[in-house]
Amino acid sequence: MKYCSHCRADIVVTIPPGDNRERYTCPACDFIFYDNPRIVAGCIPIYGDQILLCKRSIEPRSGYWTLPAGFMENGETTQQGAWRETYEESMAKVEVGQLFSVCNVPRINQVHMFYLAQMTNATFGATSESSDVALFSSQDIPWDEIAFATVKQTLERFLADRDQNQFQLHHLEF
């Protein structure tokens, strides 16, 4: 960030009065540009004993499989974001259920949240963000081609919980 988006003055990095860390600040209009973690919301879409995965057609990790998920938009809840991202990436209209995993990734300033989600029918398909969308049984999950560590560990925890017939909320760190 170089120029203030409010008054076009040059931005400086400084510790504002009363604060304890450096912020992008406009010396002309005193606006402070806070840079905080972003939330990625997604689903574990379940159809019978299968899980819906999307093959990414966009970077990062194009060509790898993921659970449908993406950055929240302003004005929506985490459940709404998870539903929307699932629809945008897979065309599946799910019933969003309980929160399953909260994945903290402080290295890249992100929090990934995955909800259990039921598919009431097998309607889904490729989209502009996914070159392929498919249902996988647990023994067919392409573990070596999973796009992100948060997705891989969420899938592992999901299968373990399903074996125990009890789904818990998982707080994970990466």
Residues that bind Zn ion (CB under 5 A): 4, 6-7, 9, 26, 28-29, 31
Nearer to Zn ion, 35 or 144 (CB): 35
B/e letters for 7-44, b = 16+ CB within 10 Å, e = fewer, are: eeeebeeeeeeeeeeeebbbeeeeeeeeeeeeebbbbb
Nearest residue (CB) to Zn ion, 7 versus 149: 7
Yes or no: say if 129 and 57 are a contact pair by the CB < 8 Å rule: yes
Find residue 101's DSSP bridge partners: 114, 170
Q: Which is nearer to Zn ion, 28 or 99 (CB)?
A: 28
The distance of closest approach from Cβ of residue 149 to Zn ion in the complex, given in angstroms and rounded to an integer, is: 39
| Element spanning 69, H or E | strand 69-71
CB of 19 to Zn ion, least distance (A): 17
CA neighbor of 69 nearest in space, from 54, 86, 57: 86
Looking up tokens 């499989």, which residue turns up? 65
- Tell which phi-psi region holds residue 65, choosing left (phi > 0), alpha (psi between -120 and 50) or beta: beta
Whole-number minimum distance, CB 7 to Zn ion, in Å? 3
Cβ proximity to Zn ion: between 19 and 76 the closer is: 19
Q: How far is the CB of 2 from Zn ion (least distance, A)?
A: 12
d(CA 156, CA 160): 6
**Min dist. Cβ of residue 3 to Zn ion (A):** 8
- Whose Cβ is closer to Zn ion: residue 10's or residue 73's? 10
